[in-house]
Amino acid sequence: MVKAPNAPRRRESSRLAVLTATRELCEENGYGRLTIEAIAARAGVSKMTIYRWWPSKGAVVLDLIDEAAAVTADPPDTGDLAADLHTQLSEVINLLTPQPTSPVTGVITEAQYDPDLARALRERLIEPRIAKFKDRLRRAQEQGQLPVDADFDVALDLLFGPIYHRLALHLGMPDPDYLDTLITHVLRALNPPPHRLDGAATA
Amino acid sequence: MVKAPNAPRRRESSRLAVLTATRELCEENGYGRLTIEAIAARAGVSKMTIYRWWPSKGAVVLDLIDEAAAVTADPPDTGDLAADLHTQLSEVINLLTPQPTSPVTGVITEAQYDPDLARALRERLIEPRIAKFKDRLRRAQEQGQLPVDADFDVALDLLFGPIYHRLALHLGMPDPDYLDTLITHVLRALNPPPHRLDGAATA
DNA sequence: CTCGAATCGATACGGTACGTATCGTCCATC
DNA sequence: GATGGACGATACGTACCGTATCGATTCGAG
């Protein structure tokens, strides 16, 4: 998927066997214990076959995510912004947990010290989803659920930030009720009251 | 610092040499290339000496942070909540960047697949700082800069979340102006307008 | 339908870093 | 001044890495 040694002669069965073995081993032993040699053994495939088509372990898992996460590609749009945000955030939490065996968390971690993987992660997974998320906000805006000058970058940071904050520092993921509380706060932040100064309640 | 083989007979000079070498190598080559063997060589210390006193590479770096980050222990309190939050968030960003050579980012990454390290990180670094952060919010509350029913957990998530969100997904750290925008939004979220429903601007 | 090219599985290789074990030395305490 | 433990040095076996080589197979072009 990343580099092309030659060909459409690539054997699809091997590719699938690799991705399947990767998924299974990740579930069984966690991303941390995942090795290319173990993937090759489980897939009944030569190590060379993996190295020929993927530049790193992370790239394999990224492909795995790509195929599996097509289902979660588009953010929901029922017309109820708050409810749709709740749905989408829950899905992201599901993708990132359980932390030790989540391929997505694994790739995010691995990308910390692999610039190539970081770029691929951002370009292939993150940025397209950010774009679609902002599209969803834009539609909400058109329906009057968000003010015309709402800052979508801030919305992105405030809504998804807590999840990654808790992921990074092992603080436990938000439960559905707390997710509601978060969304309520963020929507409040994006809807400035008509005649009031920022920041201070009484000062 | 984590387990005690026996003694106050521990040689302080070796301990310092290890921490110094760790800091230097982390700066030079990045946390990703840091190895215990390299630390031992640079510190002029036997590998055994490191393994005797630290359970893992991450534990060494965690000790390094512990000593160095005492300066950033207490959140600032000038009486201006928004300004103090800006200061504190900037300091956190400085601790986490540059990403490849930051010991803190390194430990956070390593802790993803090392439960013991994750626990030590949380108990020794994160939770004490969270407690002090909430103390600061409590003082702001007493001074009327936050409503009496402000949700401190939400404040924590919304203020620090964006930093870790951007760290994890390589989206670039907030600049000072954007930090202002974020803080303004969060303070607005925490200060509900007196007579208005949540969520919808016009709906 | 044949032929050739390129992928494939298998295997071996050198390299790095891990974590452990051993041993003589040095130092601190008693 | 003796004793015990930390220390430096060194060697060891293991695990994976990433690369190289080599028939066999299989697919596609002609």
Q: Distance from A102 to chain B by nearest Cα, in Å?
A: 11
Q: Looking up tokens 């982390």, which residue turns up?
A: B26
Beta-carbon contacts of A74 under 8 Å, excluding residues fewer than 6 positions away, are A132
Q: Residue B35: what pLDDT?
A: 98
For the ranges A34-48, A126-140, B2-16, the lowest mean pLDDT is seen at: B2-16
Please tell me the distance from the alpha carbon of residue B3 to that of residue B19, in angstroms, as a whole number.
17
Q: CA-CA distance, B112 to B202, in Å (whole number)?
A: 43
Rounded distance between C-alpha atoms, residue B19 and residue A146, angstroms: 51
pLDDT in the model for residue A118 = 98
Position A133, amino acid: F
DSSP state of A126: I
A140: helix, coil or strand? helix
Report CA(A7)–C1'(C7) in Å, whole number: 9
**Nearest Cα residue to B186 out of B164, B157, B163, B166:** B157
Q: Do domains B12-53 and B73-190 have the same CATH topology?
A: no
Contact present, A113 and B32 (Cβ < 8 Å)? yes
Q: Which of A112, A144, A170 sits opposite B122 (nearest CB)?
A: A170
State the nearest residue by CA to the C1' of C20.
B48
The predicted model gives A94-113 an average pLDDT of 97
A26 at interface of B, judged by CB pairs closer than 8 A? no
Query: What per-residue confidence (pLDDT) applies to B193?
Result: 74
pLDDT, tens digit (0-9, with 9 covering 90-100), for A159-199: 999 999 999 999 999 999 999 999 999 999 999 876 544 44
Q: How many CB atoms neighbour CB A8 within 10 A?
A: 5
Mean pLDDT confidence for A55-80? 90
At B79 the pLDDT is: 95
Per-residue pLDDT tens for B79-131?
999 999 999 999 999 999 999 999 999 999 999 999 999 999 999 999 999 99
Please state, for a pLDDT cut of 90, what percent of chain A lies above it.
85
Nearest to A118, CA basis, from B32, B136, B181:
B32
The beta strand positions in A39-142, using DSSP E, are none
Smallest CA–CA distance, residue A21 to chain B, in Å, is 20
Query: What's the mean pLDDT in A5-28?
Result: 90
Give the residue extent of every domain in chain A: 12-67, 69-190
The predicted model gives A49-78 an average pLDDT of 91
Neighbours of A46 (CB within 10 A): 11
Q: Which CATH number is associated with domain B12-53?
A: 1.10.10.60
> Which CATH architecture is the domain A12-67 placed in?
Orthogonal Bundle (1.10)
Record the tokens describing residue B151, joined without a space: 């949700």
> How many helical (H) and strand (E) elements, i.e. helices and strands, does chain A have?
10, 0
CB of B114 within 8 A of CB of B60?
A: no
Residue of B nearest to A31 (CA): B113
Which residues 36 to 55 of A reach strand C, CB within 7 A? Answer: 44-49, 52-53
Amino acid at A28: E
Sequence length of chain A is: 203
Whole-number Å distance between alpha carbons of A91 and A84: 11
With contact defined as beta carbons under 8 Å apart, do B165 and A107 qualify? no
What's the pLDDT band for B136 if we cut at 50, 70, 90? very high
Separation between Cα atoms, residue A147 and residue B200, nearest integer Å: 9
Q: What is the mean pLDDT of chain B?
A: 92
> Regarding the domain with residue range A69-190, which homologous superfamily does it belong to in the CATH classification?
Tetracycline Repressor, domain 2 (1.10.357.10)
The CATH architecture that domain B73-190 belongs to is: Orthogonal Bundle (1.10)
Tell me if the bond preceding A98 is cis, omega within 30° of 0: yes
